[in-house]
Amino acid sequence: MVRYLLLVGVAVIVGLVVFGAMRSLFGDSIVNLITLVIVAVCVVIVWRNLQLNRKVTDATPQQRTAALTFAPDAGKAALYVYRTQFIGKAVGVNLDIDGRQAAQIKSPRFTRVALTPGVHKIELYLGTPDKKKPGANTQDLNVAAGDVIVLKLEIEPQMVGTVIKATRVEAQKAGTEIGRAKMVAPDVAEL
């Protein structure tokens, strides 16, 4: 977080210097026009990215309470995926399991999916299933009955685009981090 704030601070200072130099060279009217164009482009980019979010259903309070026990169903494994970071908070990260859409997670939210024992392909990406943006994260998980797998998602901005990081964490640590987060009901309760 500190790294990003430092980069934003440097960008603001550089922007002020560049716009000051442009004002002295070209005058106020052209610089104001350039500013309006830059703001319009930024608004269009944000609007288009938010259009990729889909309607998700929040879990009931009973489902959320049961999920926060971090106990898998009998003969199954439990997969938890959550986000708590501020960066990219409004952008939904899609979770596909074995080629089926399981959920879309914005921040601060989490979901829980029951998995049958065996190997499952987990894919995390931005965009739509037919137009995935670069920077996706794909993992093969080999789960056994009784396993509890918790993945913490983070979006890392790059020079162009983003990369999605999925880090395994302990259930106890995840419980403290998602204590007040909303739970998204998965599209498929079990795979």
pTM: 0.77
According to CATH, the topology of domain 61-183 is Immunoglobulin-like (2.60.40)
Q: Are 107 and 85 in contact (CB under 8 A)?
A: yes
Residue 137 confidence (pLDDT): 85
Distance CA 120, CA 139 (A): 8
Looking at residue 123, its pLDDT comes to: 92
**62 CB burial (10 A radius; 0-12, 13-18, 19+):** exposed
pLDDT, residue 130, reads 73
- Exposure string of 114-148, with b = 16+ CB inside 10 Å and e = fewer, is bbeeeebebbbbbbeeeeeeebbbeeebebeeeeb
Please list the residues that pair with 111 across neighbouring strands: 81
Give me the percent of the chain exceeding a pLDDT of 70.
98
Span of 112-121, 129-138, 149-158 with lowest mean pLDDT? 129-138
State the pLDDT at residue 144: 92
Q: What is the pLDDT of residue 90?
A: 81
pLDDT tier for residue 4 given thresholds of 50, 70 and 90 = low
18-48 per-position pLDDT tens digit: 888 888 888 788 878 888 888 898 888 778 7
To the nearest 10 degrees (0 to 180), the angle between helices 2-26 and 28-50 is 150
